[in-house]
Structure 1
Amino acid sequence: MWPCFGIHALLVVTVTLSPVTAAVWSGNDVTGEDAYPPLWDLAVEKLQDFPVKDGKIVINAWSYQERLGVYKSLLNASAKYFGAFGPQNSGNILWGLPLQHGWQFRTGRLADPSGVTSCGYENGEYLCQSVRSWWSCMNYYLAIIPFLGAVEEQKDDFCYSVKDCWSRMPKLMDDWKDFILNKSTWDKRSMRAFYRRVQLPATYFIFFSFSLKYLSGPEATFGDDWANGVDFIAATHFRTDLPTTNNFQAFLPPRMLVEQDVIPFISDFSPQQNKVLVSLRALHKANKSTGMSLTYKCMYEFFT
């Protein structure tokens, strides 16, 4: 059991020692603007606030602000079940989804990496999310599975209606439905099981590999390492509430990696950010050398 215990301990130490956000959370202040994803205040509050066309709710899944609204409505709908976990819904485990999405937006990872369009760039379509972005594609199913979605390009790669999503991945849709609608699932043990059931990154890394060609070598490697790391985060029951996720994300790369970047010697990254990149790389290599058995071993240990 020691490998999984060590991974869990590393994550706990990382968020505990974060000098960036420790002061904010020491007073349980969850109202600061920096605590939330960019443009959080502008996102819609509930599903019914999205535009309606021909009697149907329409969500542009390739708009950062509208995809953020999907997350916000999900958090608001589930808030009543997390009152005992922290003030102002801060203990909601679903915070990890919009906070990750906000980090991707802030660091330019949702923009068109090919440079063919102005999608996602400040001097172009700033709120646009590119279907060429590996990060945006991976994030798609974490945001849109419980809701309706719409795409412009590469329609075969995405489900874009409730019926379509259910036909492509019925188990995942059933899991989301059970988690959101069944009140009996809102306890700590069931939440841990939910972490395990709905993990997507490792599964969809290959499915969305077409978009990796637009990334630099270091960024593509980091994406691969991050997808592997997310599986471990789920397996070790890492808390994805508002304060914990914010603390952890302080150590993630503040920008896209370029060809000239060599870890752990990236000069405009903090020592901690360089160390996290090294750790994710080592963890992925170790997992691959064991035929990915470390992930399954951790899942077995933490969910049995």
Structure 2
Amino acid sequence: MWPYFSIKALLIVVVALNPAAATAQSDTDANGGDIYPPLWDFAPENLLDFPVKDNKIVIYPWNYQERLGAYRSLLKASAKYFVAFGSQNSANILWGLPLQHGWQFRTGRLADPTSGTSCGHGNLCISVRSWWSCMNYYLSIIPFLGAVEAGLFGEVQYEVEMLPPEDRRDDFCYSVADCRSRIPKLMDEWKSSSFVLDDALHHMWKAHVASVAYALKYLADPEANFGEDWANGVDFIAATHFSTDLQTTNNFQAFLPQRMLVEEDVLPSISGFSSQQNKVLLSLRALNKANRLTGMSPPEEARADDLTLSFSSLPRNFKNEH
């Protein structure tokens, strides 16, 4: 049974992220911006919008626009399953994935945190040195390849292949066959064919938790602390089957930090952050600390079986390498 302060922290997060907690118009998010991720209209929408070389559809997922295109084509291919739940595919629960990717891009979290390269600093490059971008690889390319394997895109006449980054090539897989051989259980998590809405949310969050568990960590404090708090919080939020449709996710992201955290940021009064943003960050921190102190785990339904690892058990190599 969870201790009282763990439950209270979780409730603060969930209540704060409730759709009713933020006011949003149909074409704007809770911050007054476009509801779609940056450059959404310029991202590839279909598999054949990507280049074809040597009888392979080739995607370079270390470019923001191309990774976003993988999401966009996935949203379009899965739209038929959500027609009954809302117009213009707005009820599609996969919206949470590209919207998180857009938030990461907009807030500088896909850039090289070491400043050893210009990657992500004023360009579309996604840095392999960013923890957020590495984690997001498992929340973009794995669902995408899982969908290809499951036949969501119909008959695909070409093999689909991801181009590797310049560094840390061994940390990722690049095709259906490659990922199937290296991480079969994670691929299975993203092949769920259940589209009863609550069942779909259950499978989506289960796969999400499993993907986060596979991610790498290359951050410097205090952003590293937020990343770890967020990763822990995902386990618990998953238990609520929190809806990740277009509007709900936009409302939710209004309470996430709109820039990278720095040493001068001290909770619960980070300058420039709203009181709700400070409250959510503080609650995620409290939830993570309570989880560590008590050794408690999230509910079984929120865990991805033996794929779900505690982030505290992974090597803490957040520190800059240069």
What's the TM-score once normalised by structure 2's chain length?
A: 0.80
| Aligned: 1:242 with 2:246 | yes
Bigger relative contact order, structure 1 or 2 (CA pairs below 8 A, ≥6 apart): 2
Alignment of 1:216-235 (within 5 A): 217-235=221-239
Structure 1 residues 8, 168: closer, same or farther in 2, change over 3 A?
Answer: farther
| Aligned: 1:163 with 2:177 | yes
2:36 aligned partner: 36
Alignment of 1:97-112 (within 5 A): 97-112=97-112
Alignment of 1:168-183 (within 5 A): 168-177=182-191, 179=192, 182=193
| Aligned: 1:258 with 2:262 | yes
C-alpha displacement at 1:233, in angstroms?
1.9
Does the CA-based 8 Å contact 1:110-1:130 persist in structure 2?
A: yes
C-alpha displacement at 1:33, in angstroms?
6.4
Q: Deviations over 1:134-188 (max 9, x none)?
A: 00000001111133422221111111122111111112212323x3xx4xx1112
1:187 aligned partner: 196
1:296 aligned partner: 299
C-alpha displacement at 1:85, in angstroms?
1.4
| Aligned: 1:24 with 2:25 | yes
| Aligned: 1:275 with 2:279 | yes
Matched position secondary structure for 1:58: strand
Distance in structure 2 (CA, Å) of the matches to 1:265 and 1:257 = 13
2:307 aligned partner: none
Does the CA-based 8 Å contact 1:129-1:136 persist in structure 2?
A: yes
C-alpha displacement at 1:265, in angstroms?
1.8
Distance in structure 1 (CA, Å) of the matches to 2:296 and 2:57 = 41
Identity across the alignment (%):
62
* Counterpart AA for 2:178: D
CA RMSD of aligned residues (A): 2.3
Matched position secondary structure for 1:57: strand
Does the CA-based 8 Å contact 2:206-2:302 persist in structure 1?
A: no
C-alpha displacement at 1:196, in angstroms?
4.3
Q: Deviations over 1:26-67 (max 9, x none)?
A: xxx579961000000000111121111111000001000000
1:197 aligned partner: 206
Distance in structure 2 (CA, Å) of the matches to 1:224 and 1:135 = 11
Distance in structure 1 (CA, Å) of the matches to 2:205 and 2:102 = 23
Q: How many residues align?
A: 280
2:127 aligned partner: 130
* Counterpart AA for 1:85: F
Does the CA-based 8 Å contact 1:107-1:255 persist in structure 2?
A: yes
Matched position secondary structure for 1:132: coil
* Counterpart AA for 1:187: V
Distance in structure 2 (CA, Å) of the matches to 1:297 and 1:250 = 29
Matched position secondary structure for 2:125: coil
What's the TM-score once normalised by structure 1's chain length?
A: 0.85
Distance in structure 1 (CA, Å) of the matches to 2:33 and 2:69 = 17
Q: Is the helix fraction higher in 1 or 2?
A: 1
* Counterpart AA for 1:87: S
